[in-house]
C-alpha cells in the first residue's frame, strides 16, 4: 500500500514511523512533513489545510490510505472530500469532527447522552455571560466554542478573570470567530489523563492511557502549550478504571454520535479529569494527541494500518492487539520563548545521537536548510524513550535530551514526575 500522512509535527513523525512498520505498507508520503520525517517518508510541501491540493496529490499518486494528523483539515471536511472521490481516508467526517470543532456541540451531546462532564452553559451574548458569571460561586472555566489552536481555554479562579476572558473572546475577538460563542463551565480538579481510541462508528479499540503536560513550566505553572511531554501508561489508571471510562464515556459517545446521524470513525481522544466523583470529560479531540501519540504508538504490539483499515470498514471489533509491557516517556524540546514569540532557524546539534536502545527522536518543528537541520517551530523535537519501568524511561529520555542542543532550547525537567508519585 501507499500511505499518505497529513501534517508535519511530532505526532505525524510517530505516525509515519509506526505506519512504516506495517507489512501492508510499501511506501509512505507526508504532506508537508519535516526534516526528520523526510528521512523516513517522501515529504511533499502541501500544507495540511489545503484539502483540494491534497486530494489532487492523492489521486495522482494513487494513495491507498490517507491518515490525517491535525484537526483543522478534519473540521474542514477532508474525510468527506476524499471519500466522495473514492479514496480511503482514516478520520471522522466534517459533521463527526464537530466533537472537537464545537465545544458547545460536544457539551450538548454529553448532556443528552448522560456522559459525565463539568456542568456548563453556552452563551452568544457577552452581557448574559457576565451576568451568569456573577451568579456563580467558585472558579470557572471559559472556553471558546470553536477551534483556537489549543489556546481557547481559560481557567479563571476569580470572577474578574472570567469577565476579562469573556471580553477578550466575545468582544475583542482574540480567538477569532471561534470565540464569539463561549462555553462557561464548572472548574474540575483531579489528575488529567488522555484516552485515545480507534472507532469504526460502533466499537472502540483503546490505546494505553497517557498523561500530557500542557503548561510551559515545571510543576504545571505558566502558559498553556500544545503539550511539553507525556508518558504512558499512567499508574493511576487501573484496568477497572479503563473499563469504566470505556463503558461510561467512550462507548456512549460513539453511540450518541451514531444516533445523532454523525457516525464517528477515526481516533476519538477524550481528555478526562479523574475527579472525586469519577472520570469526567474535559474535552474531546477528533484526532491523535500530540505529544501523546509519541508515547502510545511505540507501545502498541500490532499493526496500526490494519487497525485503521478495520475502523474504516466497520470491523474494529476483530482487531485484538497487545501492548508492550514497557513504559514510554517523551520530552519536548521547544524554542526559547514558546508559546509566545520565538526564533526559528537555529541549528540543531546532536539529534542523531548516539542514544541508548529504544530511544527515538521524533521531529516536530524542524527543517533542512543547506543540509543542516534547523528549528522551524515552537515545539522542535519530541524525544521518546522506552524502558521496563517509568523511572528508567524518564532517565533515558532526559539522558538523550541533554545530548541535543540548539540556541534557546527549552524543556520541562519534570515530565513523568506525577506518575512517579503513584508508584
Give contact residues for ligand AMP (rule: CB under 6 A): 118, 141, 150, 153, 155, 185, 187-188, 192, 214, 224, 271, 282-283
Minimum separation from the CB atom of position 103 to ligand AMP (A): 8
Closer to ligand GLY by Cβ: residue 55 or 245: 245
Minimum separation from the CB atom of position 331 to ligand AMP (A): 18
Minimum separation from the CB atom of position 294 to ligand AMP (A): 16
Closer to ligand AMP by Cβ: residue 36 or 179: 179
153 binds, among ligand GLY, ligand AMP, none (CB under 5 to 8 A by kind): ligand AMP
290 binds, among ligand GLY, ligand AMP, none (CB under 5 to 8 A by kind): ligand GLY
Closer to ligand AMP by Cβ: residue 213 or 367: 213
Contacts of the segment 53-62: beta carbons below 8 A, 24+ positions apart: 54/4, 54/6, 54/78, 55/81, 55/82, 55/85, 55/87, 57/4, 57/29, 57/31, 58/4, 58/82, 58/87, 59/85, 59/87, 61/2, 61/4, 61/29, 62/2
Minimum separation from the CB atom of position 138 to ligand AMP (A): 11
Minimum separation from the CB atom of position 349 to ligand AMP (A): 32
187 binds, among ligand GLY, ligand AMP, none (CB under 5 to 8 A by kind): ligand AMP
CA distance 267 to 419: 25
Closer to ligand AMP by Cβ: residue 77 or 271: 271
192 binds, among ligand AMP, ligand GLY, none (CB under 5 to 8 A by kind): ligand AMP
How does DSSP classify residue 85?
T
How does DSSP classify residue 400?
H
83 binds, among ligand GLY, ligand AMP, none (CB under 5 to 8 A by kind): none
Minimum separation from the CB atom of position 405 to ligand GLY (A): 25
Closer to ligand GLY by Cβ: residue 123 or 269: 269
CA distance 267 to 197: 6
51 binds, among ligand GLY, ligand AMP, none (CB under 5 to 8 A by kind): none
Closer to ligand AMP by Cβ: residue 97 or 304: 97
CA distance 375 to 404: 12
Please give the helix or strand (H or E) that residue 29 lies within, else none. strand 27-32
DSSP strand pairing (89-90 vs 65-68): parallel
Percent of residues in the chain assigned helix, strand, coil, to nearest 5 = 30, 30, 40
Residue 54's nearest CA partner among 26, 85, 24, 25 is 85
Are 261 and 93 contacting, i.e. CB atoms less than 8 angstroms apart? no
227 binds, among ligand GLY, ligand AMP, none (CB under 5 to 8 A by kind): ligand GLY
CA 375 to chain centre: 21
Any alpha helices (H) in 199-350, and if so which ranges? 239-245, 251-259, 293-296, 304-313
210 binds, among ligand AMP, ligand GLY, none (CB under 5 to 8 A by kind): none
Closer to ligand GLY by Cβ: residue 11 or 367: 11
Binding site residues, ligand GLY, CB under 6 A: 212, 227, 285, 289-290, 292
What 3-state DSSP class applies to 151?
A: coil
Minimum separation from the CB atom of position 43 to ligand AMP (A): 28
Closer to ligand GLY by Cβ: residue 178 or 227: 227
Are 87 and 55 contacting, i.e. CB atoms less than 8 angstroms apart? yes
CA distance 152 to 107: 15
How does DSSP classify residue 168?
I
Minimum separation from the CB atom of position 222 to ligand AMP (A): 13
Minimum separation from the CB atom of position 214 to ligand GLY (A): 7
CA distance 185 to 273: 14
Minimum separation from the CB atom of position 189 to ligand AMP (A): 7
CA distance 70 to 92: 12
100 binds, among ligand AMP, ligand GLY, none (CB under 5 to 8 A by kind): none
Closer to ligand GLY by Cβ: residue 73 or 227: 227
Closer to ligand GLY by Cβ: residue 33 or 227: 227
Cβ burial, residue 277 (10 Å; 0-12/13-18/19+) = exposed
Amino acid at each position: 500500500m501507499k500511505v499518505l500522512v497529513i501534517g508535519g509535527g511530532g505526532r505525524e513523525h510517530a505516525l509515519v514511523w509506526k505506519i512504516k512498520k506495517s507489512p501492508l505498507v510499501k511506501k509512505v508520503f507526508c504532506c508537508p512533513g519535516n526534516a526528520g520525517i523526510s528521512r523516513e517518508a517522501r515529504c511533499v510541501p502541501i500544507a495540511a489545510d489545503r484539502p483540494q491540493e491534497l486530494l489532487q496529490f492523492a489521486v495522482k499518486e494513487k494513495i491507498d490510505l490517507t491518515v490525517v494528523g491535525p484537526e483543522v483539515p478534519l473540521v474542514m471536511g477532508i474525510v468527506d472530500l476524499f471519500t466522495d472521490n473514492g479514496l480511503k481516508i482514516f478520520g471522522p467526517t466534517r459533521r463527526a469532527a464537530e466533537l472537537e470543532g464545537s465545544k458547545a456541540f460536544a457539551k450538548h451531546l454529553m448532556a443528552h447522552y448522560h456522559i459525565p462532564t463539568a456542568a456548563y452553559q453556552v452563551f452568544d451574548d457577552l452581557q448574559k455571560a457576565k451576568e451568569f458569571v456573577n451568579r456563580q460561586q467558585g472558579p470557572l472555566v471559559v472556553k471558546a466554542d470553536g477551534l483556537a489552536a489549543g489556546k481557547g481555554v481559560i481557567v479563571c479562579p476569580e470572577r474578574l478573570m472570567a469577565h476579562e476572558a469573556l471580553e477578550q473572546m466575545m468582544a475583542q475577538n482574540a480567538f477569532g470567530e471561534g470565540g464569539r460563542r463561549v462555553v462557561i463551565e464548572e472548574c474540575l480538579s483531579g489528575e488529567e489523563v488522555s484516552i485515545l481510541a480507534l472507532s469504526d462508528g460502533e466499537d472502540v479499540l483503546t490505546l494505553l492511557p497517557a498523561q500530557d503536560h500542557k503548561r510551559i513550566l515545571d510543576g504545571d505553572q505558566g502558559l498553556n502549550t500544545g503539550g511539553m511531554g507525556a508518558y504512558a501508561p499512567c499508574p493511576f489508571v487501573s484496568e477497572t478504571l479503563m473499563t469504566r471510562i470505556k463503558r461510561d464515556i467512550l462507548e456512549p459517545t460513539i453511540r450518541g454520535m451514531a444516533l445523532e446521524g454523525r457516525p464517528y470513525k477515526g481516533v476519538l481522544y477524550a481528555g478526562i479529569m479523574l475527579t472525586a466523583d469519577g472520570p469526567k470529560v474535559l474535552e474531546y479531540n477528533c484526532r491523535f494527541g500530540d505529544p501523546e501519540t509519541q508515547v502510545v504508538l511505540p507501545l502498541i504490539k500490532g499493526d496500526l494500518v490494519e487497525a485503521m483499515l478495520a475502523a474504516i470498514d466497520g470491523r474494529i471489533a476483530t482487531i485484538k492487539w497487545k501492548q508492550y509491557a514497557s513504559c514510554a516517556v517523551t520530552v519536548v524540546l521547544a524554542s526559547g520563548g514558546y508559546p509566545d514569540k520565538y526564533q526559528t532557524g537555529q541549528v540543531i546539534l546532536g539529534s542523531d545521537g548516539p542514544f541508548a536502545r529504544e530511544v527515538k527522536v521524533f521531529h516536530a518543528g524542524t527543517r533542512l536548510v543547506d543540509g543542516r537541520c534547523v528549528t522551524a517551530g515552537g515545539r522542535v523535537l519530541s524525544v521518546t524513550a522506552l524502558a521496563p519501568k517509568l523511572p528508567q524511561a524518564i532517565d533515558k529520555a532526559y539522558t538523550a535530551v541533554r545530548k541535543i542542543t540548539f540556541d534557546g532550547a527549552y524543556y520541562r525537567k519534570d515530565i513523568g514526575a506525577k506518575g512517579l508519585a503513584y508508584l
